[in-house]
Amino acid sequence: EIGPHRVEQPFPKPHQVEFDPSGRFVAVPDKGLDQVLVYEIDAAAGKLKAVGQPSQAREGAGPRHIAFHPSGQSAYVINELDSTVTAYRFDSETGQLEPFQRLSSLPDSFTGNSRASEIAVSPDGRFVYASNRGYDSIAIFSIDPENWQLTSAGWQNSEGRTPRFFAIDPNYQRLLVANEDTDTIVPFEIDRSDGSLRKSGDAVQVGSPVCIIFKPIS
């Protein structure tokens, strides 16, 4: 079984492995299958057990990365090929994902080509961030604490080309954007009141950055 995009979906493409907040499950967005699979971790046996049926994305969506809400009650998937975000309810007992909302990561005024890439939930659980490559930007969404639904809160220019990845620092003060095709990591200050971003400091020159990982605070 493969997806309908003949170039991007010729075979299964598990693009990420992400632990849920409890550490009991791992979610695997598969860009090639248009599915998000979940596995329960059997630590004693050192094995993974598939949970129920995979969550099927819209045909041709290309789910790429997933981010869990700190509460463990919802999760958000960035779909690379159609530049959308899908919101899921997450059952922390069974590991099942149930989609309930889908919205664009691009403004309706943008008519060019773009591919979505990274997604993250703010540590306080109030905002979702997602990156666009083409419409080089970070999309910002607010999260409704009652029902976990997203509302667009704007876009921030990534100050470079092809923001393949970004990461929020452990102190929740800055968001660092890795612009792959301009060889820069650009720091943005986070306004915790509304989730907005403001360029803060000079870009760091580094060859083709594609991932950022922070050392845990001891």
- CB neighbours of 147 closer than 8 A, spacing ≥ 6? none
- Which is nearest to 30 in space by CA: 98, 79, 75? 79
Q: What is the pLDDT of residue 77?
A: 98
Residue 102 buriedness (CB in 10 A; 0-12 / 13-18 / 19+): middle
Task: Determine the pLDDT at residue 200.
Answer: 95
User: Structure tokens of 144?
Assistant: 């409704």
What is the C-alpha to C-alpha distance for residues 120 and 118, in angstroms, rounded to an integer? 7
Look up residue 8 and give its DSSP letter. Answer: T
Cβ-contact 186, 179 below 8 angstroms = yes
Per the CB < 8 A criterion, the answer to whether 83 and 33 are in contact is: no
Alpha carbon distance 141, 128 (integer Å): 5
Q: What's the confidence (pLDDT) of residue 6? A: 74
Q: Please answer whether residues 78 and 70 qualify as being in contact, where contact means their C-beta atoms are separated by less than 8 angstroms.
A: no
| pTM of this structure | 0.95
Nearest by Cα to 165 from 182, 179, 181: 179
How many Å apart are CA 184 and CA 181, to the nearest integer?
Answer: 8
Are 122 and 168 spatial neighbours (Cβ–Cβ below 8 Å)? yes
pLDDT tens for each residue of 124-156: 999 999 999 999 999 999 999 999 999 999 999
| Cα 51 from Cα 16, distance rounded (Å) | 17
Q: What is the predicted pLDDT for the residue at 7?
A: 81
Phi-psi region of 95 (alpha: psi -120 to 50; beta: other; left: phi over 0): left
What local confidence, expressed as pLDDT, does residue 69 receive? 98
**Do 54 and 66 meet the contact criterion of CB atoms below 8 Å apart?**
no
Contact 35, 58 (CB under 8 A): no
Which positions of the chain have pLDDT values less than 70? 1-2, 218
Collapse the DSSP code of 76 into the 3-class scheme (helix H, G, I; strand E, B; otherwise coil) and give the result. strand
Determine the pLDDT at residue 1: 61
